[in-house]
Amino acid sequence: MSLRVLIADDEQAARHGMLRALQATSCELLEAADGDAVLQSLREHAPDLVFLDLNMPGRDGLSVLREFATTRSTTEIIVVSANDQVSIAVECMRLGAADYVTKPYEVEQLRAIVRRASERLALRDRVAALQNQLDQQQAFGALVGISRPMRELFGQMTRAAKAPLPLLIRGETGTGKELIARELHRLSDRSAGPFVAVNTAAIAESLTESELFGHVKGAFTGADADRSGCFRQADGGTLFLDEIGDMPLAAQTKILRAIQERVIQPVGSSKTVAVDVRIISATHQDLEAAIPEGRFRQDLYFRIRGIELRIPPLRARREDVLLLANYFLERTHAGASVPTFAADAIDALLTHTWPGNVRELEQAILAAAAMRQSNEIRGADLPLPHRKTNADPSQFDQLRGLPLTEAKGVLIEQFERSAIEAALADNAGNVSAAARQLGLHRQSLQQKMAQWEINR
């Protein structure tokens, strides 16, 4: 899409040089020779990107930035100045500048800034369109996702919800296994019945039978009244056994009989009680590896694994990151003015690997919303580790004897190799998904992998 770029500099030669540098980018280019003209152009034309000189007659660049900071504009301002003082650069960034470029600059540096801004604009518009689509059609209630892995999961859920079989949900911690289980219950024929969730790993071994099957009054010290237990509470509905892979072996034995025979016996009672529950289990553990190690019963594994659903980690569904971030932000500010994300915050959200998955993203958004200093969330507001680019000086020593062009080629190859390996790791070796993440055709990626002998 076409980017609208404003070039603000009082020197005509400087404006002309920048115009020539950006003509090849297919942008709509505007000019301004002083601070007042910049502010007028911001009001009338709403440019997407501004290259702003600091030293201009009348209102200088800092005055423009101060006035710009009071608006809610999504325009990105890049300060371009011959002043290389760190204090000036810091002040510009504090006032809302997205970047600070010192003169003289490289033409390719400006073009790269424009390309990144264009990509962010396209992404922002796509997120807005997807959000609008999501608002119009909430097919899965509180579940949010438009990536291919999530669309495939939604289709599997629709089919699995109606099947009268136990379900096993697999996924890393923080991917939303209980939320998936609740949606499966909502879509099932048992939706009118209760949904009971129990974290099986958190139950003390001595209280397992009481928690799951209930007890009668006087069954043990402290049993002052009858207790129904999770199985009877879920009768006619769904029982969600979370973290079943971490359940103690003794508890596994007790729960297996209840699933097999569909009856339970409360502690202290001589009578059995029939129960009608659908079992949905969830785990982040590798149950297949736990069975030969003696940590999980094989017969229980086959009882709970009727239909298996796998939730993709957030790093494998990056298309959903901004959509989820907006969702959490809007939910936090229901009925109030919703903040927006600055460009550096969007970059931080998209480049973070999210080891804690959706749960980590939600907490990051809540924290950023609480700590922001304006109606715009900036990268510094997000509780994410700052990316460091500590280059090892020794890696350049080997290049110093080479011609510049050859040395640049070596560095580019090293960077591309690293980026490809990281993308393959993010997508569990899926070449098509890695190619989409890198913005390459699958065939091009395969050629590079073969050229550099990269193993998927």
- Number of other residues whose CB lies within 10 A of the CB of residue 355: 12
What distances in angstroms separate CA 433 from CA 100, 170, 452, one per listed residue?
34, 21, 19
Within the chain, which residue ranges are assigned CATH 3.40.50.300?
A: 148-312
The CATH architecture one would assign to domain 394-451 is Orthogonal Bundle (1.10)
- The per-residue pLDDT for range 64-97, each reduced to its tens digit, is 888 887 776 778 899 988 887 888 888 888 888 8
Beta-carbon contacts of residue 210 (< 8 Å; ≥ 6 apart): 219, 220, 223, 227, 229, 267
Beta-carbon contacts of residue 138 (< 8 Å; ≥ 6 apart): none
Q: Which helix (H) or strand (E) holds 421?
A: helix 404-426
What mean pLDDT comes out for the span 41-46? 86
Q: In what order do the strands lie in the sheet with 76-81?
A: 28-32, 4-8, 49-53, 76-81, 99-102
Distance CA 215, CA 217 (A): 7
* Mean pLDDT of the residues in the chain: 84
Q: pLDDT tier at 382 (50, 70, 90 boundaries)?
A: very high
pLDDT at 270 (0 to 100): 83
pLDDT at 389 (0 to 100): 43
Indicate whether 386 pLDDT > 70: no
What mean pLDDT comes out for the span 391-406? 57
How many residues can be counted in the chain?
A: 456
- The per-residue pLDDT for range 237-275, each reduced to its tens digit, is 999 999 999 888 888 888 898 898 899 888 888 888 899
On whether the pTM is more than 0.85, the answer is: no
Distance CA 443, CA 456 (A): 14
- Please give the share of the chain, as a percent, with pLDDT higher than 70: 90
- Rounded to a whole number of angstroms, the distance between the first and last alpha carbons of the chain is 33
The CATH architecture one would assign to domain 4-120 is 3-Layer(aba) Sandwich (3.40)
Tokens describing residue 440 = 């390459």
Question: Hunting for tokens 């770029």 — which residue is that?
Answer: 5
Within the chain, which residue ranges are assigned CATH 1.10.8.60?
A: 315-381
- The per-residue pLDDT for range 197-225, each reduced to its tens digit, is 999 888 877 788 888 888 888 777 777 78
Q: pLDDT tier at 305 (50, 70, 90 boundaries)?
A: very high
Task: DSSP letter for 215, please.
Answer: B
Within the chain, which residue ranges are assigned CATH 3.40.50.2300?
A: 4-120
The CATH architecture one would assign to domain 315-381 is Orthogonal Bundle (1.10)
pLDDT at 151 (0 to 100): 86
- For the chain, the helix, strand and coil percentages under 3-state DSSP, each to the nearest 5: 50, 15, 35
Indicate whether 110 pLDDT > 60: yes
Indicate whether 379 pLDDT > 60: yes
Please answer whether residues 100 and 79 qualify as being in contact, where contact means their C-beta atoms are separated by less than 8 angstroms.
yes
- Please give the share of the chain, as a percent, with pLDDT higher than 90: 26
What mean pLDDT comes out for the span 33-59? 87
User: 148-312 domain in CATH 3.40.50.300?
Assistant: yes
